[in-house]
């Protein structure tokens, strides 16, 4: 199936040209600077592949987007947003996948990204059923710290979920997939057609078509719940039924759910976006520092969060 290997196509096309033509018109990289390996993930318009830089032997994840398919579905803008969002985030945070370079050929756009060798947090949760409270605390803290940075740069993710949380060599978290990202120019944005994944979507998006930083905090509440409970906070038999539950705040905690985690989830899964813990502007009493100060995070040392060893996944 040709859809499954766009970059193999790109690579062999690149091979049929001379290195000097593909490699360095304006000093940029091209597909033939990399050896492509395994497929790491597939989306509707893209395939992520492992790739090794031929000269440095450094390994990356390269997201290959099919230009024709994007154009036919009016999604070229989405690809541009993803790139601009990643560029805006720069090299700045260990918890966010870094964009190293972009290039294109006739058929594809290529985003050269940090490789997160231990895959999606989703597959770990699925494999283990749920995560220990300690592990959940560590990953929730890493999400909070990355959100602090991202939101400070005026970027909201809008589709945070365990599939978009990758684990690097050291089992530290890296947020990826900014294809649904938004660069904020005012505080609250009206979403035109965008709706995230049903289980993590905030009620204001369903009710008023609004998103703000606070929608990412709602998703954090859903993710923390899921890590500990091993199931979705909101889940119906269809997307529509899930939305109904989100709008009605219809969820319950399983017996034995950690009390401090429960308190935090209850302060994040709040219908009014401005009242979620951490939703205030920087300097406001309810800013992200208030979220970091929640008792659930009492044992977290924010200064060494990205340098200490990750807890064993259990």
Shortest Å, Cβ 118 to ligand ADE: 8
Q: Is 146 in the site for ligand ADE (CB under 6 A)?
A: no
Are 38 and 49 a contacting pair, CB within 8 Å?
A: yes
Burial class (CB in 10 A: 0-12, 13-18, 19+), 109: buried
Q: Is 61 in the site for ligand ADE (CB under 6 A)?
A: yes
Q: For residues 200 and 53, what is the distance between their CA atoms, to the nearest angstrom? A: 36
Q: Is 99 in the site for ligand ADE (CB under 6 A)?
A: no
Q: Is 97 in the site for ligand ADE (CB under 6 A)?
A: yes
- The 216-255 contact track toward ligand ADE, x by CB under 6 A, reads ----------------------------------------
Taking CB under 6 A as the binding criterion, the range among 29-37, 114-122, 273-281, 291-299 that sits at the site for ligand ADE is: 114-122
Selected catalytic residue, list 145, 159, 177, 216: 159
Count of residues near ligand ADE by CB under 6 A: 11
From candidates 5, 8, 9, 41, binder to ligand ADE by CB under 6 A: 41
Q: Return the ∠ at Cα 95 (arms to 90 and 101), rounded to 5°.
A: 35
Are 175 and 95 a contacting pair, CB within 8 Å?
A: yes
From candidates 10, 14, 31, 40, binder to ligand ADE by CB under 6 A: 40
Q: Is 173 in the site for ligand ADE (CB under 6 A)?
A: no
Are 129 and 121 a contacting pair, CB within 8 Å?
A: no
Shortest Å, Cβ 202 to ligand ADE: 24
Sign (positive or negative) of CA dihedral 202, 87, 286, 164: positive
Q: For residues 107 and 89, what is the distance between their CA atoms, to the nearest angstrom? A: 27
For ligand ADE, the closer of residues 82 and 204 by Cβ is 82
Q: For residues 260 and 112, what is the distance between their CA atoms, to the nearest angstrom? A: 39
For ligand ADE, the closer of residues 11 and 176 by Cβ is 176
Q: Is 277 in the site for ligand ADE (CB under 6 A)?
A: no
Q: Is 115 in the site for ligand ADE (CB under 6 A)?
A: yes
Q: Is 165 in the site for ligand ADE (CB under 6 A)?
A: no
Q: Is 48 in the site for ligand ADE (CB under 6 A)?
A: yes
Q: Is 160 in the site for ligand ADE (CB under 6 A)?
A: no
For ligand ADE, the closer of residues 168 and 210 by Cβ is 168
Taking CB under 6 A as the binding criterion, the range among 29-37, 108-116, 220-228, 294-302 that sits at the site for ligand ADE is: 108-116
From candidates 64, 166, 217, 300, binder to ligand ADE by CB under 6 A: 166
**Is 159 an annotated catalytic residue?**
yes
For ligand ADE, the closer of residues 161 and 213 by Cβ is 161
Q: Which of 72, 68, 52 is nearest to 60 (CA)?
A: 52
Q: For residues 281 and 92, what is the distance between their CA atoms, to the nearest angstrom? A: 21
Q: Is 176 in the site for ligand ADE (CB under 6 A)?
A: yes
Q: What residue number has its CB nearest to ligand ADE?
A: 61
Q: Which of 203, 255, 260 is nearest to 230 (CA)?
A: 255
Binding site for ligand ADE (CB under 6 A): 40-41, 48, 61, 97, 113-116, 166, 176
**Which residues are identified as catalytic?**
159
């Amino acid at each position: 199936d040709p859809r499954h290997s766009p970059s193999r196509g790109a690579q062999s096309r690149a091979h049929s040209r001379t290195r000097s033509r593909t490699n360095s018109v304006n000093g940029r990289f091209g597909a033939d600077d990399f050896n492509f390996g395994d497929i790491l993930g597939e989306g509707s318009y893209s395939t992520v592949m492992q790739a090794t830089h031929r000269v440095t032997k450094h390994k990356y994840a390269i997201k290959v987007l099919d230009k024709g398919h994007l154009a036919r579905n009016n999604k070229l803008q989405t690809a541009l947003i993803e790139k601009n969002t990643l560029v805006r985030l720069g090299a700045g945070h260990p918890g966010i996948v870094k964009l190293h370079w972009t290039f294109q050929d006739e058929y594809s756009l290529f985003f050269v990204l940090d490789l997160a060798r231990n895959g999606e947090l989703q597959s770990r949760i699925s494999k283990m059923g749920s995560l220990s409270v300690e592990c959940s605390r560590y990953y929730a803290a890493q999400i909070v710290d990355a959100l602090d940075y991202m939101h400070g740069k005026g970027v909201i993710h809008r589709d945070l979920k365990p599939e978009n949380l990758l684990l690097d060599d050291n089992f530290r978290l890296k947020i990826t997939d900014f294809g649904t990202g938004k660069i904020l120019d005012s505080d609250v944005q009206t979403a035109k057609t965008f709706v995230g994944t049903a289980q993590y979507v905030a009620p204001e998006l369903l009710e008023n078509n609004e998103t703000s930083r606070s929608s990412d905090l709602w998703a954090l509440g859903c993710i923390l719940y899921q890590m500990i409970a091993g199931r979705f906070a909101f889940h119906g038999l269809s997307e529509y039924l899930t939305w109904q539950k989100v709008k009605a705040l219809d969820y319950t905690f399983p017996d034995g759910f950690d009390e401090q985690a429960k308190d935090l989830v209850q302060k994040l899964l709040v219908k009014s976006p401005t009242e979620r813990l951490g939703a205030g502007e920087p300097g406001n009493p309810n800013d992200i520092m208030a979220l970091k100060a929640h008792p659930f995070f009492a044992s977290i040392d924010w200064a060494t969060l990205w340098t200490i060893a990750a807890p064993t996944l259990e």
